[in-house]
Amino acid sequence: MPPGLDNLRHIVVLMMENRSFDHMLGSLTAVNPQIDGVTNQLGNPDTTGALVKPQPLAQFQGQLDPDPDHHFPAVDLQIFGGDTSPNRMANMQGFVKSYFNQQKDVGHSQKIMYYFAQNQLPVLTTLALEFAVFNRWFASIPGPTICNRAFAHYGTSFGRVDMNLLYVNEPFKSIYDRLINATPKHTSKLYYYDTASSTMEITNLLQNQPELFGTYQQFLDDSKTGNLPDYSFVEPNYSDHDSDDGEEVASDQHPDHNVQAGELFIASVYQAIKQNANLWQSTALLVVYDEHGGIYDHVVPPACTPDQFQASPNDTGIGMPFAFDRLGVRVPAILISPWIPKGTIVNRVFDHASIPGTLTKFFLGDYSPRSPRETSADVFIEPNVAPVNPARNLLSLDIMRTDCPDFDV
Amino acid sequence: MALIHVPRPENAWNPNRAVNALLKSQVLQLHEAELKLPVRQQTDIYINAIKTEGEAAGYVRQVTEAIHAAHQTAAAKQARSRVKRTSKVRTKKKMTRKRGRTPR
pLDDT(B26) > 70? yes
Question: B-chain residues within 8 Å CB-CB of A198?
Answer: 26, 30, 60-61, 64
> A135-144, A167-176, A221-230: which has the minimum mean pLDDT?
A167-176
Q: Is A179 helix (H, G, I), strand (E, B) or coil?
A: helix
| pLDDT confidence band for A238 (50 / 70 / 90) | very high
Which DSSP string do the residues of A64-88 spell out, in sequence order?
A: S-SPPP-SHHHHHHHHHTT--STT-
Q: What is the pLDDT of residue A167?
A: 82
User: Which pLDDT score is estimated for A165?
Assistant: 80
Is residue B73 domain-resident? yes
Is B26's CB within 8 Å of A198's CB? yes
Q: How confident is the model at residue B98 (pLDDT cuts 50, 70, 90)?
A: low
Across the interface, whether the CB atoms of A239 and B60 are under 8 A apart is answered yes
Mean pLDDT, rounded, for A227-233? 98
Can you say whether residue B84 is alpha, beta or left, with left for phi > 0 and alpha for psi between -120 and 50 degrees? alpha
- When comparing pLDDT for A323 and B91, which is higher? A323
In a domain, B2, yes or no: no
User: ipTM of this complex > 0.85?
Assistant: yes
Is residue B49 situated within a structural domain? yes
DSSP state letters, A180-213: HTSSS---EEEEES-TTT--S-IIIIIHH-GGGE
Show the domain range for A234: 3-35+118-376
In angstroms, the CA A236 to CA A17 distance is 9
| Band (B99; pLDDT cuts 50, 70, 90) | low
Domain count for chain B, please give it.
Answer: 1
The boundaries of the domain holding residue B47 are 21-99
User: pLDDT digits over A275-285, tens only?
Assistant: 999 999 999 99
Q: What is the mean pLDDT of residues A146-168?
A: 92
Taking an 8 Å cut-off on Cβ atoms, the answer to whether B61 and A211 are in contact is no
Chain A positions touching B12 (Cβ under 8 A) are: 60-61, 240, 249, 257-258, 260-261
Q: Is residue A50 part of a domain?
A: no
Residues near A386 by Cβ (< 8 Å), separated by ≥ 6? A1
How large is the average pLDDT for residues B23-50?
95
Average pLDDT over residues A307-335: 96
Residue B13 in domain:
no
Residue of chain A with shortest Cα separation from B59: A196
Distance between CA A45 and CA A143 in Å, rounded?
A: 22
Residue B10 maps to a domain: no
Q: Residue B100's pLDDT is what? A: 60
Is B12 domain-assigned?
no
Domain contains B69 = yes
Total domains in chain A come to 1
Contact A406 B1 (CB under 8 A): yes
So what's the pLDDT on residue B84? 77
B63 found inside a domain = yes
Q: Is A300 on the interface with B (CB under 8 A)?
A: no
Largest CA distance in chain A: 62
B38 contact residues in A (CB cutoff 8 A): none
**What average pLDDT score do residues A148-172 get?**
91
User: Per the CB < 8 Å rule, is B28 touching A165?
Assistant: yes
Interface residue B78 vs chain A (CB under 8 A): no
- At residue A379, the pLDDT reads 98
A363-408: per-residue pLDDT in tens?
999 999 999 999 999 999 999 898 999 999 999 999 999 999 999 9
Q: Residue A278 belongs to a domain with what CATH number?
A: 3.40.720.10
Alpha-carbon gap: B48 to the closest alpha carbon of chain A (Å): 16
pLDDT, tens digit, 9 for 90 and up, residues A22-64: 999 999 999 999 999 999 999 999 999 999 999 999 999 999 9
